[in-house]
Amino acid sequence: MEIGYSVIIYTILVLMLVSYVFMRKHKRKFNGKLRLPPGSMGLPYIGETLQLYSQDPNVFFTNKQKRYGEIFKTHILGCPCVMLASPEAARFVLVKQAHLFKPTYPRSKERMIGPSALFFTQGDYHMRIRKLVQSCLSPEALRAIVPEIERIVVSMLDSLDHGQVINTFHTMKKLSFDVGILTIFGGKLEERYKVELKKNYFIVDKGYNSFPTNIPWTLYNRAIQARKRLSEILSEIMHERRKKGEVEKDLLGCLMESRDEKGELQLNDEQISDNIIGVLFAAQDTTASVLTWILKYLGEDPKLLEAVKVEQMGIYETNECGSQPLTWAQTRSMTLTNRVILETLRMASIISFTFREAVADVEYKGFLIPKGWKVMPLFRNIHHNPDFFSEPDKFDPSRFMNAPKPNTFLPFGSGVHACPGNELAKLEILILVHHLVTKYRFEVVGYQTEIEYGPFPVPRHGLPARLRRAPGPSA
């Protein structure tokens, strides 16, 4: 307990110091002609950090919007922030004036993944990496790996201890990790490398959101050591490929063979490792969270579940009761299931907001956003605004029979930093839902209303559920 209190006191003192220095440095901005957005900066030095973490973050932001409007200021985690809760403001920051707002992450998280990873970078380097990643995650590239993703899904479902209660979120994390490995390394990665990558990755994953105290035996320290091991493993894999003269069309191969206009290699091994680990992170927790919420929503609505099953059984029977593999065209024909995915992305809003930092003083609608302030477009607030989505707290996939208004649906972000893996995530989800509803019966254990954050929102305890094989011809 003494150690816990010491950490809390130390954290507060650090936040107070950072806040004091920052406010002194930028004091001149409060005396200009433009006024700051309305809002509260909270207590001296520590701001409203305690309020944010003592309640559901979504409640915190929603209450602020109700009181101050669609643009307001606050002070959290040692940083003055401007929150934006309108589609126009989100587009302003992420698309129209994106050059005025840089991505910003805590230094500890950059160190954990790697500073050269796609989502930490800007400019020409960012665009080069983004094009490489997009080329490997395009519909054309994904079409070729549908059978392999299906094999992973079938193997995972078969391996579960049927009838026993599972932690849905943890199960889906393992699935997403295996799909990520397939996408990055193709289907030829040796089993010993898979085992080592998985072991060390999950150590890093566990320490990613821990308090960044780099002393022996802490979660953060163990994660840093595992991160070093991941780089070593990736270097070994790259060395073997070069030794064999292998040129693969998977993501690793694209990064390794990337060349500039002079024909020279563009990326060193450290940059490649950072981006591989970054893709693993981006591909795992978010997709696993969406899958978990989909099963929750389907489990709570028997009529919707039955309608999804009817759609999927039509494809199942066309494929001779599963004896033929799914095709890319079939996954594109799952219209109801796709609407369920879209409504889950809106309702759960896995990415509730994103962080940017103003690189200059910016004026927006008569307000000043000072240089150095954090700027947070609030996706969830937009997704739950009744002006754009009627009865926003009701799960209703039919609302996506028509396209939402521009900039009101941003589950993967927007602009040059939008998630490039959204099609892979949807494909994985469609394949999982197909096999789950045609071959199995699942039930959520207990009444799930509470949410936990780690950092993405998931039902409490990872949605405990029980899975059984379906009787009859679909078994």
DSSP secondary structure string for all residues of 129-193: HHHHHHHHSSHHHHHTTHHHHHHHHHHHHHHS-TTSEEEHHHHHHHHHHHHHHHHHHTT---HHH
Query: What is the C-alpha separation between 219 and 204, in angstroms, rounded?
Result: 8
Q: What sign has the CA pseudo-torsion 223, 226, 228, 231? A: negative
- What spatial distance separates the first Cα and last Cα of the chain, rounded to whole Å? 52
Tell me phi and psi for residue 392, to 5 degrees. Answer: -60, -20
Query: What is the C-alpha separation between 98 and 30, in angstroms, rounded?
Result: 24
DSSP-derived 3-state class of residue 425: helix
Q: At a CB cut-off of 8 Å and minimum separation 6, what does 170 contact?
A: 462
Report which of 255, 28, 310 is spatially closest to residue 129, judged by C-alpha positions: 255
H or E element at residue 279:
helix 269-300
Helix axes 335-348, 269-300, angle to 10 degrees: 100
Return the structure tokens found at 402: 């028509």
User: How remote is the C-alpha of 347 from its chain's centroid?
Assistant: 15
Please state whether the peptide bond connecting residue 302 to the residue before it is cis, i.e. omega within 30 degrees of 0: no
Cα angle at 298 between 400 and 57, to 5 degrees?
75
Residue 419, annotated as binding a ligand: yes
Query: What is the C-alpha separation between 441 and 274, in angstroms, rounded?
Result: 40
Report which of 45, 46, 26, 44 is spatially closest to residue 36, judged by C-alpha positions: 26
Helix axes 269-300, 123-136, angle to 10 degrees: 60
Query: What is the C-alpha separation between 128 and 123, in angstroms, rounded?
Result: 9
Query: What is the C-alpha separation between 152 and 214, in angstroms, rounded?
Result: 36
SS3 track for 70-94: CEEEEEECCEEEEEECCHHHHHHHH
Phi-psi region of 246 (alpha: psi -120 to 50; beta: other; left: phi over 0): beta
Binding residues: 419
Binding residues for heme: 419
